[in-house]
Chains A and B, each alone.
Chain A
């Protein structure tokens, strides 16, 4: 492979400019070869065979996985390549459920598009005869295996960018499927609902779970008033669904559109994003003063929160107790704004418009209710709200600009930048600087935390102290940062985590194409909008300051903790049966040792061994049954042991003997008596 030189593409001489594969050069040369499995951000897979080209020396090759060589002669458009591409599509279609008109991906499906583009007029092969059931268990994602073309994009996205590996190929040959571990339902595995798999899926195999009908029903219900909130990243992306460029600001048109379809009040998530910054920054200041639970992790991203609950329960005390802006909004509307409207919480329907798929999961968390009803009734993604406008036959691009309603419709620039990775951190920096520096601080643009880079580090001086900050996006990057933290390689005071690449602008609910180019444009526009925003810091938002006074009598106090904060629970990654390791005789004392990852890493195996040895030594092995179990959901406190339905936490190989003698063997004696 040479990084420079020339090659011939369809008779034209083209420079090699350091590209790693032919596909990149061919596309630069203006020939947009089709692909299913090629994503510049993921590893090369070479499975779909759509980018086949003919070369002089190597014959037919897949352009995506062939390195360029000086003097190569490539032909992209021959009888053979065209015929093969067509046949690839035909073969995929033969295995694909072809109920296109009713598919939620119709019109945006890459398979449909390419079949049309490549002139496939007929499928010569048979149809799949068996229909496999859909997985509807996740609150965020629907899986339809009948539409999967095995491109593996979701597999690589989840593994490489999110580090989770929820999806993988299983079985072989014609029986190959992309599925979860043990073919379990999506709600039974460690999926964090980020929706990045949906973003890269070229067909309708993975789609967002739609809540559109629920919203229409609420709009048309005369007893209900629909109160909408719009997240920052939505306003710079929605236009893409109507043919506008990525990053075009359509805030006013969304407001106008929502009013037109019958939404009662249109408010801005920025309002509660400002509240989030103020609460979270104050939480940080208290922790710095007490020097406890540092670094603080942001809690705005529900996928990160679930990830932390599943994989790093020991870090849960570090996660900010603040609710996300979405949930603060729901809580404020149901607890306070509903009273202003003289409505019961159940008669105010909170509609949340988000770039995010995990927000659907967050809205359904049992912690977020008022008077027994959920704080947020429905979450629609950017793509879903565009769909509603289409259903209502609204000419979106022709809509006039309308302003948000008051009082929850005002937000600062610091809240606006929540939509891009680094925004929450910059907002906190603005607030703290304003708090410590007073009026003369002026505008603060904190550039080191901006941009698409996976892990960003920055330092800031506040109140005579230097704070170490980190901003991370993508969960694989997050895992890297956490292992640096745990090994002592790095230390920070505050860490912002966003699960999606680039932050919320790259969320799983954003329009296609959702790649780095689109994300950068959307983030760029957000910062541009912030630049011209008069309200710069969260404390500049008069309405928020007033709301804190009026509703809570201040910030970061008992009242705000009730309405604006939350708690977290350790969560198991995979649902499974207990793992029997000892012959079962039900009369004996039941001891189960947790073998979930957290406990395993803390020496659960050695604890079992120690228990077994002690039982043997003390001659009570016959009266005790020692099992392993998968995750007792107490992951934050060392190895957990369940003895006769009582959970003992904090067990370690060092204190296992002591625990056995004090807590387990007395029970055996009691059992015998």
Chain B
């Protein structure tokens, strides 16, 4: 984590602490931490000489920013019109059931998986689409195929061969 704190300061300095760069700074910081922790946002406000309420306002305005921790694997199920009519709902349901997510939960207790929906990924020809960590695209998915993909990730994790989240660019929002 120490390395990441240095990174935080580096990010702010690379933008010369300019308030106009706040969104870019938040994006880069989120890439480091996988979310925007409260203390980090307060630190950014302090370093940039703006009020913490302003930083909080910007961070909550955009859907791409998250103030709660996300899992190592962020799974986005497209629920745009095309994906929806071709059965994104059963896929979403199967994913949540398989990962044991209940109620309003979107992240698993072990912080491995986060399941979200997204309005359109612009890949309607491949509907229904699921994207894992921003770069792993699964097209024409079925509940069975997506559960299979999750099982592969889990077994890779067990073998300890998995890619680290920063390599997969986990927090790139679509």
Contacts and interface: CB of A to CB of B under 8 A. Distances in A.
Interface of A: 159, 164-172, 179-183, 189, 573-574, 576-583, 595-597, 600, 605, 608-609, 612, 626, 628, 630
B60 A574 contact: no
A580 to B, nearest CB: 6
A182, A578, A582, A626, most chain B CB atoms within 10 A: A182
Query: Which 5 residue pairs spanning A and B have beta carbons closest together?
Result: A165-B51, A181-B52, A168-B53, A579-B39, A581-B5
B105 interface: no
Contacts of A577: 38-39
Given A172-B62, A576-B39, 15 more contacts: A159-B51, A170-B53, A172-B61, A179-B56, A181-B42, A181-B56, A182-B38, A182-B41, A189-B53, A581-B1, A582-B1, A583-B1, A600-B47, A605-B9, A628-B43
Nearest to A608: B5
14 contacts: A164-B51, A165-B50, A166-B51, A169-B57, A170-B53, A172-B61, A181-B56, A576-B39, A579-B37, A582-B2, A597-B46, A605-B9, A628-B39, A628-B43
Interface in B46-77: 46-47, 50-57, 60-62, 67
Nearest to B38: A182
A612 B2 contact: yes
B114 to A, nearest CB: 20
Chain B CB within 10 A, most for which of A170, A189, A583:
A170
Contacts of A595: 43, 46
A547 to B, nearest CB: 44
B53 to A, nearest CB: 4
A181 B55 contact: yes
Contacts of B56: 168, 170, 179, 181-183
B51 A581 contact: no
A577 B43 CA distance: 12
A356 B120 CA distance: 53
Contacts of B5: 581, 608, 628
**Chain B interface size, under 10 / 10 to 19 / 20 to 34 / 35 or more:** 20 to 34
Interface string B107-138: 00000000000000000000000000000000
B42 A165 contact: no
Contact of B52 (A169, A171, A574, A612): A574
A307 to B, nearest CB: 13
A313 to B, nearest CB: 15
A579 B40 CA distance: 8
B9 to A, nearest CB: 6
Contacts of A169: 57, 61
Contacts of B42: 181, 574, 576, 630
Contacts of B43: 579, 595, 600, 628
Contacts, number: 84
A651 B61 CA distance: 38
SS class of chain B's interface: helix, strand, loop or mixed?
helix
A168 B2 contact: no
A166 B53 contact: yes
A609 B53 CA distance: 28
A165 B1 contact: no
Q: Give the residue among A165, A167, A183 with the most B Cβ atoms within 10 A.
A: A165
Greatest chain A CB density within 10 A among B53, B55, B61 is at B53
A582 B6 CA distance: 11
Nearest to B57: A168
A383 B135 CA distance: 61
Contacts of A159: 51
A570 to B, nearest CB: 15
Contacts of B50: 165
A198 B43 CA distance: 29
Interface in B74-116: none
A171 B60 contact: yes
Contacts of A576: 38-39, 42
B51 A580 contact: no
Interface string B1-13: 1101110010000
A597 B45 CA distance: 9
A605 B46 CA distance: 12
A628 B53 CA distance: 21
A595 B47 CA distance: 10
B6 to A, nearest CB: 8
Contacts of B55: 181
B173 to A, nearest CB: 15
A171 B60 CA distance: 5
A609 B46 CA distance: 18
Nearest to A166: B53
A181 B39 contact: no
Q: Which of A164, A179, A574, A596 has the most CB of B within 10 A?
A: A574
Nearest to B54: A168
Nearest to B67: A182
A179 B53 contact: yes
A14 B39 CA distance: 55
B60 A165 contact: no
Contacts of A580: 1
Contact of A630 (B39, B53, B54, B67): B39
A596 B2 contact: no
A172 B60 contact: yes
A375 to B, nearest CB: 33
Nearest to A573: B52
Contacts of B41: 181-182
Given A574-B42, A595-B46, A630-B42, A167 B2 contact: no
B54 A165 contact: yes
Contacts of A597: 46
A514 to B, nearest CB: 23
Contact of B2 (A183, A189, A578, A626): A626
A597 B37 CA distance: 18
A215 to B, nearest CB: 34
